[in-house]
Chain A
Amino acid sequence: QKEVEQNSGPLSVPEGAIASLNCTYSDRGSQSFFWYRQYSGKSPELIMSIYSNGDKEDGRFTAQLNKASQYVSLLIRDSQPSDSATYLCAASGSSASKIIFGSGTRLSIRP
Protein backbone atom coordinates (compact mmCIF):
# COMPACT_ATOMS: atom_id res chain seq x y z
CA GLN A 1 0.00 0.00 0.00
CA LYS A 2 1.58 3.24 -1.16
CA GLU A 3 1.37 5.90 1.52
CA VAL A 4 1.95 9.56 2.15
CA GLU A 5 2.76 10.24 5.79
CA GLN A 6 2.42 13.47 7.72
CA ASN A 7 2.57 14.45 11.35
CA SER A 8 -1.03 15.22 12.31
CA GLY A 9 -0.10 18.09 14.61
CA PRO A 10 -1.40 20.41 15.75
CA LEU A 11 1.58 22.58 14.96
CA SER A 12 1.39 25.90 16.74
CA VAL A 13 3.48 28.78 15.40
CA PRO A 14 3.51 32.46 16.48
CA GLU A 15 2.34 35.04 13.98
CA GLY A 16 5.19 36.26 11.80
CA ALA A 17 7.31 33.13 12.32
CA ILE A 18 8.18 30.38 9.85
CA ALA A 19 5.97 27.29 9.81
CA SER A 20 7.64 24.10 8.65
CA LEU A 21 5.53 21.17 7.46
CA ASN A 22 6.94 17.79 6.50
CA CYS A 23 5.83 14.77 4.55
CA THR A 24 7.29 11.44 3.45
CA TYR A 25 6.08 9.14 0.70
CA SER A 26 6.64 5.46 0.09
CA ASP A 27 6.26 5.10 -3.68
CA ARG A 28 9.67 5.64 -5.29
CA GLY A 29 7.89 5.97 -8.64
CA SER A 30 6.06 9.13 -7.57
CA GLN A 31 6.91 12.04 -9.85
CA SER A 32 4.61 14.86 -8.79
CA PHE A 33 4.11 16.34 -5.36
CA PHE A 34 1.62 18.85 -4.06
CA TRP A 35 0.68 20.86 -1.04
CA TYR A 36 -2.97 21.69 -0.46
CA ARG A 37 -4.60 23.77 2.22
CA GLN A 38 -7.96 22.73 3.63
CA TYR A 39 -10.05 24.88 5.90
CA SER A 40 -12.57 23.10 8.08
CA GLY A 41 -15.60 22.03 6.05
CA LYS A 42 -14.06 23.19 2.77
CA SER A 43 -12.41 21.52 -0.19
CA PRO A 44 -8.63 21.21 -0.66
CA GLU A 45 -7.07 24.25 -2.29
CA LEU A 46 -3.80 23.91 -4.20
CA ILE A 47 -0.90 25.89 -2.75
CA MET A 48 2.08 24.51 -4.64
CA SER A 49 3.28 21.73 -6.86
CA ILE A 50 6.86 20.51 -7.17
CA TYR A 51 8.28 17.99 -9.61
CA SER A 52 12.07 18.12 -9.34
CA ASN A 53 14.56 17.99 -6.48
CA GLY A 54 15.32 21.24 -4.73
CA ASP A 55 13.34 24.27 -3.68
CA LYS A 56 10.47 26.06 -5.34
CA GLU A 57 9.30 29.42 -4.03
CA ASP A 58 5.98 31.16 -4.53
CA GLY A 59 5.41 34.23 -2.42
CA ARG A 60 5.55 33.28 1.26
CA PHE A 61 5.60 29.57 0.44
CA THR A 62 8.61 27.38 -0.35
CA ALA A 63 8.28 23.72 -1.24
CA GLN A 64 11.28 21.43 -0.97
CA LEU A 65 11.66 18.00 -2.54
CA ASN A 66 14.28 15.34 -1.89
CA LYS A 67 13.53 12.24 -3.95
CA ALA A 68 16.46 10.27 -2.55
CA SER A 69 15.02 10.65 0.96
CA GLN A 70 11.40 10.52 -0.30
CA TYR A 71 10.73 13.70 1.58
CA VAL A 72 8.69 16.82 0.79
CA SER A 73 8.37 19.91 2.93
CA LEU A 74 6.56 23.22 2.92
CA LEU A 75 7.81 26.38 4.58
CA ILE A 76 5.45 29.26 5.24
CA ARG A 77 7.23 32.53 5.98
CA ASP A 78 5.68 35.42 7.90
CA SER A 79 2.83 33.19 9.11
CA GLN A 80 -0.56 34.87 9.33
CA PRO A 81 -3.65 33.85 11.35
CA SER A 82 -5.35 33.14 8.01
CA ASP A 83 -2.76 30.40 7.43
CA SER A 84 -4.39 28.38 10.22
CA ALA A 85 -5.72 25.32 8.41
CA THR A 86 -4.94 21.69 7.70
CA TYR A 87 -2.14 21.23 5.17
CA LEU A 88 -2.34 18.17 2.95
CA CYS A 89 0.68 16.66 1.24
CA ALA A 90 -0.08 14.66 -1.90
CA ALA A 91 1.90 12.57 -4.35
CA SER A 92 1.14 10.99 -7.68
CA GLY A 93 1.36 7.24 -7.98
CA SER A 94 3.76 5.51 -10.35
CA SER A 95 1.01 5.29 -12.94
CA ALA A 96 0.28 9.05 -12.57
CA SER A 97 -3.45 8.33 -12.86
CA LYS A 98 -4.04 8.85 -9.18
CA ILE A 99 -2.85 11.26 -6.55
CA ILE A 100 -2.87 10.12 -2.97
CA PHE A 101 -3.09 12.36 0.07
CA GLY A 102 -1.59 12.29 3.49
CA SER A 103 -3.82 12.68 6.51
CA GLY A 104 -2.81 16.33 6.90
CA THR A 105 -1.07 18.50 9.47
CA ARG A 106 -3.17 20.96 11.45
CA LEU A 107 -1.42 24.32 11.65
CA SER A 108 -2.44 26.96 14.14
CA ILE A 109 -0.97 30.47 13.97
CA ARG A 110 -1.22 32.16 17.33
CA PRO A 111 -1.38 35.99 17.45
Chain B
Amino acid sequence: EPEVTQTPSHQVTQMGQEVILRCVPISNHLYFYWYRQILGQKVEFLVSFYNNEISEKSEIFDDQFSVERPDGSNFTLKIRSTKLEDSAMYFCASSEVTGRELFFGEGSRLTVL
Protein backbone atom coordinates (compact mmCIF):
# COMPACT_ATOMS: atom_id res chain seq x y z
CA GLU B 1 0.00 0.00 0.00
CA PRO B 2 1.41 3.43 -0.92
CA GLU B 3 2.54 5.50 2.02
CA VAL B 4 4.06 8.82 2.94
CA THR B 5 7.57 8.44 4.33
CA GLN B 6 9.35 10.94 6.55
CA THR B 7 12.93 11.33 7.69
CA PRO B 8 14.39 11.64 10.22
CA SER B 9 12.06 10.01 12.72
CA HIS B 10 13.68 12.00 15.53
CA GLN B 11 16.04 14.94 15.46
CA VAL B 12 17.62 16.72 18.37
CA THR B 13 19.09 20.15 17.68
CA GLN B 14 20.42 23.17 19.50
CA MET B 15 18.43 26.39 19.57
CA GLY B 16 19.35 28.60 16.64
CA GLN B 17 20.35 25.73 14.36
CA GLU B 18 18.76 25.04 10.99
CA VAL B 19 16.73 21.88 10.54
CA ILE B 20 15.43 20.21 7.38
CA LEU B 21 12.68 17.64 7.61
CA ARG B 22 12.12 15.44 4.59
CA CYS B 23 9.06 13.75 3.20
CA VAL B 24 8.31 11.53 0.22
CA PRO B 25 4.60 11.89 -0.58
CA ILE B 26 2.52 9.17 -2.20
CA SER B 27 3.64 9.06 -5.81
CA ASN B 28 0.43 10.04 -7.63
CA HIS B 29 -0.51 12.75 -5.11
CA LEU B 30 -0.16 16.37 -6.16
CA TYR B 31 -1.01 18.23 -2.95
CA PHE B 32 1.38 18.30 -0.03
CA TYR B 33 1.06 19.55 3.52
CA TRP B 34 2.99 20.04 6.70
CA TYR B 35 1.31 19.91 10.10
CA ARG B 36 2.77 20.00 13.55
CA GLN B 37 1.59 18.65 16.89
CA ILE B 38 3.06 19.92 20.11
CA LEU B 39 2.92 17.23 22.79
CA GLY B 40 -0.60 16.95 24.18
CA GLN B 41 -2.04 19.51 21.78
CA LYS B 42 -3.97 19.50 18.53
CA VAL B 43 -2.70 18.81 15.04
CA GLU B 44 -2.02 22.29 13.59
CA PHE B 45 -1.90 23.21 9.93
CA LEU B 46 1.33 24.85 8.79
CA VAL B 47 1.32 24.97 5.00
CA SER B 48 -0.10 23.46 1.84
CA PHE B 49 1.80 23.20 -1.43
CA TYR B 50 0.79 22.52 -5.01
CA ASN B 51 2.51 22.91 -8.35
CA ASN B 52 5.70 24.18 -6.72
CA GLU B 53 3.92 26.97 -4.90
CA ILE B 54 2.52 27.52 -1.43
CA SER B 55 -1.27 27.35 -1.63
CA GLU B 56 -1.99 28.46 1.89
CA LYS B 57 -0.05 28.96 5.10
CA SER B 58 -0.98 29.53 8.71
CA GLU B 59 0.14 32.25 11.08
CA ILE B 60 2.60 29.77 12.56
CA PHE B 61 4.40 29.51 9.22
CA ASP B 62 6.46 32.67 9.53
CA ASP B 63 9.71 33.68 7.83
CA GLN B 64 11.61 31.06 9.81
CA PHE B 65 9.87 28.32 7.85
CA SER B 66 10.17 27.39 4.20
CA VAL B 67 9.09 24.50 2.04
CA GLU B 68 10.55 23.13 -1.14
CA ARG B 69 10.11 20.31 -3.61
CA PRO B 70 13.75 19.96 -4.66
CA ASP B 71 13.13 17.05 -7.02
CA GLY B 72 10.30 14.87 -8.29
CA SER B 73 9.87 12.92 -5.09
CA ASN B 74 10.94 14.87 -1.99
CA PHE B 75 9.08 17.60 -0.13
CA THR B 76 11.01 19.40 2.59
CA LEU B 77 10.31 21.69 5.52
CA LYS B 78 13.16 23.93 6.63
CA ILE B 79 13.27 25.77 9.92
CA ARG B 80 16.02 28.37 9.66
CA SER B 81 16.80 29.15 13.27
CA THR B 82 15.05 26.81 15.66
CA LYS B 83 13.48 27.98 18.89
CA LEU B 84 12.59 25.96 21.96
CA GLU B 85 8.90 26.28 21.06
CA ASP B 86 9.51 24.56 17.71
CA SER B 87 9.83 21.28 19.61
CA ALA B 88 6.97 19.18 18.25
CA MET B 89 6.04 16.28 16.03
CA TYR B 90 5.97 17.39 12.41
CA PHE B 91 3.71 15.48 10.07
CA CYS B 92 3.86 15.51 6.31
CA ALA B 93 0.68 14.62 4.45
CA SER B 94 -0.37 14.31 0.84
CA SER B 95 -3.63 14.10 -1.05
CA GLU B 96 -4.67 13.24 -4.56
CA VAL B 97 -7.24 16.02 -4.78
CA THR B 98 -7.29 19.31 -2.92
CA GLY B 99 -9.64 19.33 0.04
CA ARG B 100 -9.91 15.56 0.05
CA GLU B 101 -8.43 12.79 2.19
CA LEU B 102 -5.02 13.48 3.68
CA PHE B 103 -2.62 10.61 4.21
CA PHE B 104 0.00 11.21 6.86
CA GLY B 105 3.55 10.06 7.30
CA GLU B 106 4.76 8.65 10.59
CA GLY B 107 6.10 12.03 11.65
CA SER B 108 9.43 13.58 12.55
CA ARG B 109 9.91 14.41 16.20
CA LEU B 110 11.95 17.59 16.62
CA THR B 111 13.50 18.35 19.98
CA VAL B 112 15.14 21.77 20.37
CA LEU B 113 17.48 22.14 23.33
Residues of A at the B interface (CB closer than 8 Å) are: 31-32, 34, 38, 42-46, 49, 88, 90, 92-93, 95-104
CB neighbours of B102 from chain A (8 A):
34, 44, 46, 90, 99
Instruction: Decide: A97 near B56, CB < 8 A? Known: A44-B91, A46-B103, A49-B101.
Output: yes
Q: Chain B contact residues: over half helix, strand or loop, or mixed?
A: strand
Contact with A along B64-107 (1 / 0, CB 8 A): 00000000000000000000000000010000001111111111
Structural contact, A97 and B48, CB atoms closer than 8 A: yes
- In the complex, the chain A residue whose C-beta lies closest to that of B105 is A43
Q: A97-B98, A97-B99, A99-B45 are in contact. List 7 more A-B contacts (CB 8 A).
A: A49-B100, A92-B99, A96-B98, A96-B99, A97-B50, A98-B45, A101-B45
A–B pairs, 18, beta carbons within 8 Å: A32-B100, A34-B101, A38-B43, A42-B106, A43-B91, A46-B102, A46-B103, A49-B101, A88-B42, A90-B102, A95-B55, A97-B99, A98-B45, A98-B55, A101-B35, A101-B43, A101-B45, A104-B42
- In the complex, the chain B residue whose C-beta lies closest to that of A46 is B101
Residues of B at the A interface (CB closer than 8 Å) are: 31, 33, 35, 41-45, 48, 50, 55-56, 58, 91, 98-107
Structural contact, B56 and A95, CB atoms closer than 8 A: yes
- In the complex, the chain A residue whose C-beta lies closest to that of B49 is A97
Once the chains are docked, how many angstroms separate the CA of A94 from the CA of B112?
34
Instruction: Decide: A97 near B43, CB < 8 A? Known: A31-B99, A43-B104, A46-B101.
Output: no
- In the complex, the chain A residue whose C-beta lies closest to that of B55 is A97
CB neighbours of B56 from chain A (8 A):
93, 95, 97-98
- In the complex, the chain B residue whose C-beta lies closest to that of A48 is B101
Once the chains are docked, how many angstroms separate the CA of A32 from the CA of B101?
9
